Amino acid sequence: MIRVRFAPSPTGSLHVGGARTALFNWLFVQHARAAGEAAAFILRIEDTDRERSTDAFTKVILDGMTWLGLTWDEGPLFQGANGDRHRADARRLLDAGKAYEDGGAIRFRVPAEEVAWDDAVHGPISFHGKDVEDFVILRADGTPVYNFAVVSDDIAMRITHVFRGDDHISNTPKQILLYRAFGAPVPVFGHVPMILGADGKKLSKRHGATAVADYQHEGILPQAMANFLALLGWNPGGDRELFFDVRDMIAAFTFEGVLKKASVFDPKKLEWMNAEHLRSLGAERVAGLIGDALAGVEPARAVELVAAVLPRARTTLDVAHRTRLRAGLDPVVLEEKAAAFIAADPAGYRAALRDVVELLAGAPDWTPAPLEAALRALAERRGVKVGAVMQPVRVALIGALVSEPVNELLAVVGRELALERLRAAAEG
């Protein structure tokens, strides 16, 4: 039976790198299951660093995984609860002469032998024991060091595959030597490459938001985040990038497709991917997601508002903002560029809007096609380009220079509110 684990230390939030490691483990298990194999995903919280580990971080990690849909089959198990086993295991090595006491601590006697493994990502890797110093496994106070606790736990939990960040490659020879010392089967190791910022440096706070929760709060969809994380370091083959159905991602995922080279985190790409996921959901489901923002708005009207903004929206927050503005729940606040547009010719802006108000006040049919025809006719009469009529209307209605076509904008805002905003802007 396949058994994999994700083993975060609760000394910080769930970051992009950790989330991706969790996702790859999860995808591996789900892929195996879909192929009819028994497989389990175990969540182990490595809280042996008592000073830096907190319950709050544990909660953030569990919440982040739950949000991403990364359900675990066993756990959360807490490494800190296994102290007795860690000490008993150290004692076994001591008794077998494979470890020795050194002052207060217990050290592992590193044998002078070759350590090689076929990494699921990097291929064959080898080290030699003679290059590895005897290392501490149990401190004087009876607490285990990372390499020892991990191996003791992975053996006890019958872990068959260890997939983690490649910052752990140098730990793996030590761990393999410990497996050998215990006479335990060595799992498959796979080390996933780092995630870099746009400047080629290891991704960190300097590059902006790196915690999964930040993206959740910014209105990124969990399925888009998972899709984006999967593509950081995994090549599904061909040009395919979008997986709207997670089952397709599960079917396509293998460690053969995981790249050896570090990948670059591009927040713009995440935003693009999120927009694609939003559109794939359709207006009705997105309206359901932003329900609170449109509380009190009739359901059919909410769907109409969402449908109007969906082609240009990037996040659920963006959808909420744009729909509330069009529904009159939020007032018009001029964006910088729109303010500059007015400032370039305030008199011309107001004059154009006065004409539009006069024209549209008596419009018999407030739907996109006749509204468009009326505005075009007005531009012709005034001897100006169509844009010279459309753009002031857009600015007056939503305070921005970019949106859906103005006739559609007028239609979705509705006669009453549109005329109110146009009049207010015309009167300046």
Angle of the 406-413 helix axis to the 368-382 helix axis, nearest 10: 130
Query: Looking at 150, 212, 308, 397, which residue binds ligand GLU (CB under 6 A)?
Result: 150
168 versus 423: smaller Cβ distance to ligand GLU: 168
Query: Min. distance of Cβ 23 from ligand GLU in angstroms?
Result: 14
Q: What is the CA radius of gyration of the chain?
A: 30
187 binds ligand GLU (CB under 6 A): no
Residue/partner pairs of 416-424 with CB below 8 Å, 24 or more apart: 417/328, 418/360, 419/357, 419/360, 419/361, 421/332, 421/396, 421/397, 422/353, 422/356, 422/357, 422/360, 422/393, 422/396, 422/397, 423/357, 424/396
Stretch that binds ligand GLU, among 2-10, 255-263, 278-286, 362-370 (CB under 6 A): 2-10
Query: Min. distance of Cβ 40 from ligand GLU in angstroms?
Result: 16
Q: Is 12 exposed, middle or buried (0-12, 13-18, 19+ CB in 10 A)?
A: middle
Query: Looking at 4, 7, 136, 360, which residue binds ligand GLU (CB under 6 A)?
Result: 7
Site string for ligand GLU, 42-71 (x = CB under 6 A): ----x-------------------------
45 versus 196: smaller Cβ distance to ligand GLU: 45
CB atoms within 10 A of CB 314: 19
Q: Are 154 and 162 in contact (CB under 8 A)?
A: yes
Query: Looking at 8, 64, 197, 399, which residue binds ligand GLU (CB under 6 A)?
Result: 8
What tokens were used for 170? 């140098």
148 versus 228: smaller Cβ distance to ligand GLU: 148
**Distance of CA 265 to CAs 20, 67, 95, 199, 230, Å?**
12, 20, 49, 10, 12
164 binds ligand GLU (CB under 6 A): yes
Active-site positions read 205
53 versus 407: smaller Cβ distance to ligand GLU: 53
82 binds ligand GLU (CB under 6 A): no
9 binds ligand GLU (CB under 6 A): yes
Binding stretches for ligand GLU (CB under 6 A): 7-9, 46, 150, 164, 168
